[in-house]
């Protein structure tokens, strides 16, 4: 009897192993079949319609499936990138090349795991309905695209990183715009020293924004982005020797820029080597003939010597400073700007007249960028750290 029990137990284990092996083999086969099905699909626009779901619009024939790379090229005679009407599609890379291509249009939510690359002239991807989303399913790098579309459409970071890099400088415009808002939690990285980024819509994303190189980041004067809502609620870091310009044209009279911001400042320890037009953070507006605009910047960290700047009719209030160092230079007087200076026993505004200006009166003189930054010491949320900082000093009360 005992021998029979042992035999039954051995047989049960044997068949169990067979079942498990078969199951694992089945999973392996399915996964490898899906991987084998993933391919590069080139848009050929068969002419029946512009839908991505139409098999005859692609080479090789067949609508894209999850994991495919999409290539749209004017070199094969296509002038429009078609319309993504495939609900729930997840693609790998999206590449456009050549010239004179419009689109593609995205009407169904699209997920992407690879990069969005433009090797030709300037292109616009349009998110065509208010409910359309381009969802990052992995970290994505975008090169040489603008995003158009309807109000309410969005680019969802979805916990990932979106990196914007320069396009081909020989073939592309160097201004790229975003009409859809950027939403979700994640990271926006701008590493495009020759590109100006414009936002037409207020962004709501959270997480972080890192600007390592940029020609400029600004809102559009014809959109709903105001400059203070370009970066959602994200924490912003502006890299060493990088300039961030904030257009306040859409701010009527005053506002608070509430993002935490870190300015890494100059890569040089010698503050006197900075050129006249170098600054880490700049506020400006058009036209320059309207009433004074006041903006409060309460949360700023300076990690090195930093120069701040502002245009005509803008008054910037810093909330306070806990430590001292090279606080800032401002205005337009010779090489450095003037009248917002560091020095013991406190960092304070110097009201000495600057070539025709009136002390303490913003924009009272004939020069561009006159009385620019007025610092008000209060409950300090501004922290100065890094090069040139002398501990134990506080910002003196500055009079407007």
Number of CB atoms found within 10 A of residue 55's CB: 11
Q: To the nearest whole percent, how much of the chain has pLDDT over 70? A: 55
DSSP state of 369: S
The distance of Cα 89 from the centroid of its chain, to the nearest Å, equals 25
Q: Report pLDDT for 17.
A: 62
DSSP 213-241: EEEEEEE-TTSS--SSSTTTT-EEEE-TT
Q: Are residues 369 and 286 in the same domain?
A: yes
Please indicate, yes or no, whether residues 194 and 105 belong to a single structural domain of this protein.
Answer: yes
* 51 closest CA partner among 89, 14, 15, 17: 89
Q: What is the mean pLDDT of residues 294-306?
A: 67
State which of 238, 270, 300 marks the end of a domain: 238
Buried/exposed code over 81-110 (b: 16+ C-beta within 10 A; e: otherwise): bbbbbbeebbbbbbbbbbeebebbbbbbbb
Higher pLDDT, 154 or 399: 154
Helical spans, DSSP H, in the chain: 2-37
Nearest alpha carbon to residue 100 among 126, 128, 72, 80: 80
In-domain check, residue 224: yes
Give the 3-state DSSP-derived string for 141-158, with helices as H, strands as E and coil as C: EEECEEEEECCCCEEECC
Torsions phi, psi of 345, nearest 5?
-90, 0
User: With 60 as the cut, is the pLDDT of residue 196 above it?
Assistant: yes
Q: Global pTM?
A: 0.74
248 and 233 in a common domain: no
User: What's the pLDDT tens digit per position in 215-236?
Assistant: 778 887 777 888 889 999 999 9
Whether residue 284 is found in the same domain as residue 136: no
How far is 137 from 157, CA to CA, in rounded Å? 8
The answer to whether residue 14 is domain-embedded is no
**Residue 151 confidence (pLDDT):** 79
User: By C-alpha distance, which of 47, 132, 127, 126 is closest to 87?
Assistant: 132
Task: Tell which wins on pLDDT, 253 or 66.
Answer: 66
pLDDT at 326: 35
**Count of CB atoms within 10 A of residue 293's CB?**
22
Q: Give which of 283, 222, 214, 296 is closest to 257, Cα–Cα.
A: 296
Give the pLDDT confidence score for residue 369 in this predicted structure.
Answer: 33
Shared-domain flag, residues 252 and 234: no
Domain-embedded: residue 21: no
Q: Are residues 185 and 217 in the same domain?
A: yes
Out of 238, 264, 283, a domain closes at: 238
Do 74 and 201 fall within a single domain? yes
Q: Is residue 7 part of a domain?
A: no
C-alpha gyration radius of the chain = 28
How many domains is the chain built from? 2
Higher pLDDT, 367 or 75: 75
pLDDT classification of 18: cutoffs 50, 70, 90: low
Average pLDDT score, the chain: 69
Residues 135 and 160: beta-carbon distance below 8 Å: no
Residues 46 and 177 in one domain: yes
Which range of residues forms the domain containing residue 105? 38-238
Residues 377, 253 within the same domain: yes
What is the C-alpha separation between 382 and 129, in angstroms, rounded? Answer: 42
Instruction: Please indicate, yes or no, whether residues 172 and 133 belong to a single structural domain of this protein.
Output: yes
Query: Of 201, 223, 238, which residue sits at a domain end?
Result: 238
Q: Is residue 20 part of a domain?
A: no
User: What is the pLDDT averaged over residues 165-193?
Assistant: 83
């Amino acid at each position: 009897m005992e021998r029979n029990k042992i035999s039954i137990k051995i047989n049960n284990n044997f068949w169990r192993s067979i079942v498990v092996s078969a199951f694992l083999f089945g999973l392996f086969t399915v996964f490898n079949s899906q991987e084998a099905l993933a391919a590069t699909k080139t848009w050929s626009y068969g002419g029946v319609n512009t839908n991505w779901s139409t098999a005859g619009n692609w080479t090789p024939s067949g609508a894209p499936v999850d994991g495919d790379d999409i290539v749209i090229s004017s070199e094969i005679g296509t002038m429009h990138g078609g319309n993504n009407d495939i609900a729930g599609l997840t693609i790998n890379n999206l590449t456009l090349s050549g010239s004179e291509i419009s689109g593609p249009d995205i009407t169904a939510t699209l997920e992407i795991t690879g990069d969005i690359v433009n090797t030709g002239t300037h292109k616009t991807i349009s998110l065509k309905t208010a409910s359309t989303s381009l969802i990052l399913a992995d970290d994505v790098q975008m090169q040489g695209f603008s995003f158009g579309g309807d109000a309410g459409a969005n680019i969802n970071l979805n916990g990932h990183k979106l990196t914007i890099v320069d396009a081909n400088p020989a073939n592309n415009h160097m201004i790229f715009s975003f009409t859809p808002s950027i939403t979700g939690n994640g990271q926006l990285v701008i590493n495009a020293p020759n590109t100006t980024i414009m936002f037409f819509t207020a962004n709501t994303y959270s997480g972080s924004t890192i600007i390592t190189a940029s020609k400029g980041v600004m809102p559009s004067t014809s959109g709903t982005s105001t400059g203070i809502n370009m970066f959602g609620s994200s924490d912003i870091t502006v890299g060493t020797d990088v300039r961030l310009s904030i257009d306040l044209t859409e701010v009527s009279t005053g506002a608070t820029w509430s993002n935490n911001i870190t300015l890494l400042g100059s890569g040089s320890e010698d503050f006197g080597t900075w050129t006249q037009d170098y600054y880490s953070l700049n506020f400006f507006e058009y036209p320059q003939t309207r009433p004074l605009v006041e903006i409060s910047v309460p949360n700023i960290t300076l990690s090195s010597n930093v120069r701040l700047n502002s245009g005509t009719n803008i008054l910037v209030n810093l909330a306070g400073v806990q430590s001292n160092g090279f606080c800032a230079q401002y205005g337009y007087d010779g090489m450095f700007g003037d009248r917002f200076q560091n020095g013991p026993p406190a960092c304070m505004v110097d009201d000495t007249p600057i070539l025709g200006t009136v002390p303490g009166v913003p924009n009272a003189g004939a020069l561009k960028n006159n009385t620019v930054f007025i610092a008000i010491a209060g409950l300090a949320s501004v922290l100065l750290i890094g090069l040139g900082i002398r501990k134990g000093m506080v910002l003196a009360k500055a009079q407007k």
